[in-house]
């Protein structure tokens, strides 16, 4: 086995784990639908990224995230992931103008101007497997990457310990079966 095969294998493993999917699952389909709502409670920082670099201290906050559209991805162990609905999460409502769903589990990429630093961007995603069958809260990880402003030219990365609870269906129509 040459170094290229090893590097590609490691990259595939990181991509699969980072996307919140388990290896060896055939399609790793999301077990929740567009419109399903999850409550995220931030319980602390993780030891691998203990510093705060973003403008909001999230520890102790709870907010709801609605599931958005599905993304099909080629070349990943988990071919389908479901991003978040294109809504600005409550903790960022006053600083970010808009969000778009991104190719990660409950993933968002949000944008907003700052008074003194230029435009700011943040991308978020949730780590493990989520399901509408969840009957209790689960411990998980939420990752944030801030970048794009004059105050953070190289960006920064935050990782939070979170508790996640399935709240229910919050769409405009009847929930899917």
pLDDT tens, residue by residue, 105-155: 899 999 988 777 778 888 988 887 788 877 667 788 888 888 777 776 677
Determine the pLDDT at residue 72: 87
d(C-alpha 15, C-alpha 20), whole Å: 9
What are the pLDDT digits (tens) for 34-89? 999 999 999 998 877 767 777 778 899 999 999 999 998 777 667 788 999 999 98
Residue 17 has pLDDT above 50, yes or no: no
Whole-angstrom Cα distance, residue 24 to residue 137?
25
Helix H or strand E encompassing 13:
helix 3-18
């Amino acid at each position: 086995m040459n170094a290229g095969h090893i590097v590609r294998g490691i990259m595939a493993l990181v991509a699969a784990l980072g996307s919140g999917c388990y290896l060896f699952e055939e399609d790793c389909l999301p077990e929740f639908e567009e419109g399903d709502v999850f409550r995220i409670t931030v319980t602390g920082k993780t030891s691998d990224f203990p510093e705060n670099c973003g403008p909001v201290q999230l520890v102790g906050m709870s907010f709801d995230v609605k599931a958005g559209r599905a993304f099909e991805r080629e070349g990943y162990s988990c071919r389908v992931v479901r991003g978040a609905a294109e809504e600005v999460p409550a903790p960022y409502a006053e600083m970010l103008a808009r969000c778009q769903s991104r190719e990660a589990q409950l993933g968002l990429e949000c944008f907003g101007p700052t008074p003194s630093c230029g435009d700011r961007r943040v991308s978020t995603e949730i780590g493990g497997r989520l399901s509408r069958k969840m009957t209790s809260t689960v411990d998980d990880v939420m990752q944030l990457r801030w970048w794009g402003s004059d105050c953070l030219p190289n960006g920064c990365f935050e990782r939070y310990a979170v508790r996640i609870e399935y709240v229910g269906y919050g769409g405009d129509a009847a929930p899917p079966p």
